[in-house]
């Protein structure tokens, strides 16, 4: 499959370096689809091995970690 010349990336010289954010445009459509599939597979594996979320009673507010200043620690002026 040929890429339209207006969308084609300029050819690279052998010693040219490419930044990661520029790499995508240098990949063919098939290569981009392959990268997407690999990343989706990795994400699914990560999510499958994640620990289960804590139960509701474990996530109740702990008064020791309140965001407002405490009487035990007066504000400095």
Say what the pLDDT of residue 60 is.
Answer: 57
Say what the pLDDT of residue 33 is.
Answer: 95
Long-range Cβ pairs for the range 8-16 (8 Å, 24+):
none
Question: Per-residue pLDDT tens for 11-57?
Answer: 667 677 888 788 888 899 999 999 999 999 999 999 998 887 777 66
Compute φ and ψ for 6, nearest 5 degrees.
-70, -25
Element (DSSP H or E) covering residue 39: helix 29-48
């Amino acid at each position: 499959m040929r890429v339209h010349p207006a969308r084609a990336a300029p050819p690279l010289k052998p010693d040219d370096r490419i930044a990661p954010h520029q790499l995508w445009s240098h990949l063919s459509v098939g290569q981009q689809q392959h990268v997407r599939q690999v990343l989706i597979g990795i994400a699914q594996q990560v999510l499958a091995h994640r620990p289960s979320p804590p139960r509701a009673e474990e996530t109740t507010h702990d008064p020791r970690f309140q965001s407002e200043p405490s009487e035990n620690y007066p504000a400095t002026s």
